[in-house]
Amino acid sequence: MRSPSYLVAFCLLALPATVLAQASPETASLSQTLVKGAEPHHRVQAARVLGESEDPEALKPLCEGLKDPSGEVRAAAAEALGTLGEVGGLECLEALKEETDEAAKAAHAAALRKLGALKARAPRAYVLFAGVKDTTGTVSPEWVAATEARMRRKLFQQGVLLASADETEKAAKGVLARHKIQGYRLVTEIRPGAEGGLKLTVMGTRYPGKKQLLGQVQVQASGAEQGELLVALAPEAIEEAASTFGWKK
């Protein structure tokens, strides 16, 4: 059954400050503070904010924070990895298990449990995410890539299993049968929005096999720089896709 297309418009000014603060320049600045900050309490605060940023790029500096000379900073970095929820954090946590500081050791163990549970979840859907295409000709390749990374992160946070682009139809059907879930193909475009803003359009089809159209969703925003708009739109687009195409509970 084909779901209707619809438009979800929202204003950036209505979003929480924590959402608006997720632009890559801030992540870069916080990363510098975490790695090179002179005062441990500054590095602790940087780790905590990175953990709450929902930015996939926060993973690398937080992993570096696990090597900090201060046990307090190492504890904050471990806790932040659990908050960030990127399963890539498991690798760096497991590589640095020999922790001597008690608070850092406890945070380390808690983060391992949290990320391990995320990795072990039963998938709710199988998605071939076909990337993000800029149709405006104005968005930098870096921001297109960052938008795709944030959308993939949101899919993972929803319990979605991501398909490989070179997967065979037989292999995909095997995954669906094994997990007893539905498959979806998502195609995303960045389009011009109202009032000089941007719009993300996500078109959904069945996966694998013939591309049976399920519909499309659109989210748009204006009133800020392109990067800030895309930071806000990327997770919102996946939320709407999940509701429309059927895997959100």
72 with 89, same domain: the answer is yes
Regarding whether 106 and 145 lie in a shared domain, the answer is no
Domain limit, last residue, from 97, 120, 143:
120
Looking at the fold, whether 130 and 241 belong to one and the same domain comes out as yes
Each residue's pLDDT tens digit in the chain (249 positions)? 333 333 333 333 333 333 333 346 888 899 999 999 999 999 999 999 999 988 888 999 999 999 999 999 999 999 999 999 999 999 999 998 788 899 999 999 999 999 999 889 899 999 999 999 999 999 999 999 999 999 999 999 899 999 999 999 999 999 999 999 999 999 999 999 988 899 999 999 999 998 889 999 999 999 999 999 999 999 999 999 999 998 866
Q: Which domain CATH number covers 64?
A: 1.25.10.10
- Asked which of 75, 100, 120 is the last residue of a domain, the reply is 120
The answer to whether residue 236 is domain-embedded is: yes
Query: Are 221 and 153 members of one domain?
Result: yes
- Decide if 20 is inside a domain: no
Q: Are 129 and 230 within one domain? A: yes
Of 79, 105, 120, the last residue of a domain is 120
For residue 233, what is the domain's CATH number?
3.40.50.10070
Residue 143 lies in a domain: yes
Same domain flag for 174 and 114: no
Say if 167 falls within a structural domain: yes
**Overall domain count for the chain:** 2
* 77 and 165 together in one domain: no
Asked if residue 152 is part of any domain, the answer here is yes
Whether residue 133 lies inside any domain: the answer is yes
136 and 237 in a single domain? The answer is yes
Same domain, 217 and 241: yes
Q: Crossing angle for the helix pair 71-84 and 102-120, nearest 10 degrees? A: 10
Is there a single domain that holds both residue 133 and residue 236? yes
Query: Quick one: 114 and 154 in the same domain?
Result: no
Distances (CA, A) of 122 to 31, 173, 184, 200: 33, 17, 17, 29
69 shares a domain with 132: no
Q: Which domain range does residue 145 map to? A: 6-15+123-245
